[in-house]
Amino acid sequence: MGGVSLTVGADRASDPSRRRGGVPLWFVAAVAGCIWAIARRDFGAEGYFVPWLGSAVVLLGLSPALVRDLRRRHGQAVRPIPFVPLIGVIFAVYYGLPVLISDRVTGLQLEAEVWSIHKALSLALIGWAAVLAGYLVSALSVRRVRPLNVDWDPARARRLALLLIPIGLVAAGAHRLVDLPPSIAQPMRLASSLLPVGIGIAILQGRRGQISRGIYLFAWLVLVPTWLAMELSGGLLGAVVVGGLLVCMLIWGTGGRIPLWLFVVGAITIISLRAGARDYRRMMNNDEHLLASNPIERAGQLVALSFSAMPNQGMGERFEKIADRFSQLVPFAYVIERTPAAIPHWGGETYASLPSTFIPRFLWPDKPVKDVGQRFGHRYGIIDASDHSTSINLPQLVECYANFGAIGVLLGMFTLGAGYRFLDQLLNGVAASDASVLVAAVVFSSMANIETDLSMVFGLVLQTLVVVFIVLRLAQRDPEGSRLPNQSLQPQSGSAVVGAGGGA
């Protein structure tokens, strides 16, 4: 997947040896795969166009990655972190790929009528087209936005990382294992976000040769696995994906590359873990005494549950199970079938908590608890009325439709695309310093969680950003200090690029 797995960075983009034209092989393979799938899929006469629409969603989702790869091949500068191409790939996998894998499409163990799947694919196609339109149309207005380019003193940042990592480890362990009141749990969760910040500083300085090789290897071989295992112990695989993406973005942001096979292995691993995640969360809610007291051991228990839950089935049935675990298409179609025929539109209710995301809970002890996942599950009968512990993700595309229908998809996704463009311009300049790369990785990795409602994602981003900026302020270089050559503070003016997916 060109914009995701191939070389990233302005330094490589300007390499004359890489300036070659033509459509990249990975996109040709994607087109061929879609044609092969169209010929094999059968959704009946009513669903004749379903695989065609699924292929259109996949290829349009890959279009920002294609544009990025073509720009890079022609020696044009591209943004360090492939933010929008990555979102496009995730969107294609969630909404287009399921109907190309199997004739029996499910999601969250739900099934939907063919007509509603057809409509969901049509709206998904419109939704992603609206994201790209919002990204492009907003280009002129955001050109005047000066990229945020913070800087740090390497020695101060190094000392700070040595302080943040143990604090973050302790806070993360307490947050995962101790049942804290909300007024304390929120500050503890924010303190746990110091762990990836400290690890991020170590990775960035290791890639710049500013710390010893031994410490750099320790960060990769011990700290990163420990952190991801602690995230996994919470039973929420989305947090593990966000953590993995943050690490990838640190590499991309410093001109590195990540092989495609590693993404394939990571995707298969996450999909496999989803087999036991539901049972694990049920144990957390009802039989926590069966779980280990150590977060690392808990992560091992989730892995064991996932392996035991893997069905002994043929390849075709296994593909159906895989599609069920990552598909957001059928839940979308399920909502379309019932809205507004049986269940009225929400009318913006799920966005009502957006203003309160600016206020941390320790400053507002009686702040209402966000329970969109519970309300969504109960409203549409996905979870039992007596179940007050299970939370169902409300994807942002589905959220737009559940609130305002098709017009909500068009306008909501257009606005989201404009927001992506603003963030790209603000945080993802070609000349970004290492500190700026860290900020961008924190924001973009969280924003990539498109299967969660907007207020939840936005709230976590805002609160984490406050912590990150306070940390970077402590590591800031003295005004009279000299800068390293690779940490320019010069703003990237006029760096926004107009194009399908933009130079993203």
pLDDT per position as a tens digit, 449-459:
999 899 888 88
Phi, psi (deg, nearest 5) at residue 254: -110, 25
Q: Tokens 């298969």 — which residue?
A: 268
Is the CB of residue 253 less than 8 Å from the CB of residue 437?
yes
Residue 110: which H helix or E strand, with range?
A: strand 110-111
Query: Mean pLDDT lowest for which of 56-65, 268-277, 467-476?
Result: 268-277
Summarised one tens digit per residue, pLDDT across range 343-395 is 999 999 888 877 776 666 666 666 666 778 888 888 998 888 877 777 788 99
Given this model, what pLDDT does residue 35 score? 97
Is the CB of residue 324 less than 8 Å from the CB of residue 271?
no
Summarised one tens digit per residue, pLDDT across range 275-324 is 777 778 878 877 777 788 788 888 888 888 888 766 654 445 555 666 66
For residues 227-256, average pLDDT: 89
Summarised one tens digit per residue, pLDDT across range 83-131 is 999 999 999 999 999 999 888 787 777 888 999 999 999 999 999 999 9
The two beta strands, 110-111 and 106-107, are antiparallel
Q: Which amino acid makes up residue 167?
A: I
Distance CA 185, CA 381 (A): 30
Given this model, what pLDDT does residue 343 score? 94
Cβ neighbours of residue 292 closer than 8 Å, sequence gap 6 or more: 298, 300, 301
Query: Mean pLDDT lowest for which of 160-164, 356-360, 418-422?
Result: 356-360
